[in-house]
A and B are shown apart, each in its own frame.
Chain A
């Protein structure tokens, strides 16, 4: 069974801090994604990666960056956290055009 593991379930950070969200998958998937989930807005794509060191912006990349140094790991970085980045962050992985497999999510609160 595919496992997508997000390093933290809950995170509280202060405004201006640099925040790292880590995601690891164990199925050798080439594609990995970061979404944020907000009530009434559904899932919005922040960034995705289709190969090691390759990344593409999603629909809401502002204020975020990503890193994919190894195939199994995809990190989301908030360079300077702001309160409007308080959200649930979801990592997902898949092979192309197959269903996404999601992690449990990280609920980030920025105060």
Chain B
């Protein structure tokens, strides 16, 4: 069965630190990959997505993610975090021709001012 793993459950960083959140999936075929963010008290919002093409994708608010097919990974990065990035981040995958979106367990990021 398809699955998505997010190995970091809680991350605490100081402002201006660099961020990398890991995401690995288990599916050998063509995948579409997403990162969602949930700010406190708000609904889940799309940060960025990968369907095809350049494996380095840029999203909103300075986030980017790199798709490495050989490693089945889609890690999220930001060079310098801000206090306002405090949120929970979810990686998700769907495969072509299916309706199911599989989510990871999420990573809670806390950025200290």
Contact = CB atoms under 8 A, between A and B. Distances in A.
A56 B101 CA distance: 13
Nearest to A41: B105
A97 B103 contact: no
Interface in A86-105: 90, 92, 96-97, 99-100, 102-105
Given A90-B44, A99-B49, A48 B90 contact: no
A33 B101 contact: yes
Contact of B100 (A45, A90, A99): A45
A84 to B, nearest CB: 18
B22 interface: no
A58 B100 CA distance: 8
Given A97-B94, A99-B34, A99-B49, A42 B43 contact: no
Contacts, number: 51
Interface band, chain B? 20 to 34
Contacts of A43: 90, 92, 103, 106
A100 B101 contact: yes
B110 to A, nearest CB: 15
Interface in A53-74: 56, 58
B63 to A, nearest CB: 14
Nearest to B103: A43
B43 A102 contact: yes
B11 interface: no
A42 B99 contact: no
A31 interface: yes
Given A50-B99, A105-B43, 20 more contacts: A35-B103, A40-B105, A41-B105, A42-B6, A42-B90, A42-B103, A43-B90, A43-B92, A43-B103, A45-B102, A48-B99, A58-B100, A90-B44, A92-B44, A99-B34, A99-B49, A100-B92, A102-B43, A103-B43, A104-B42
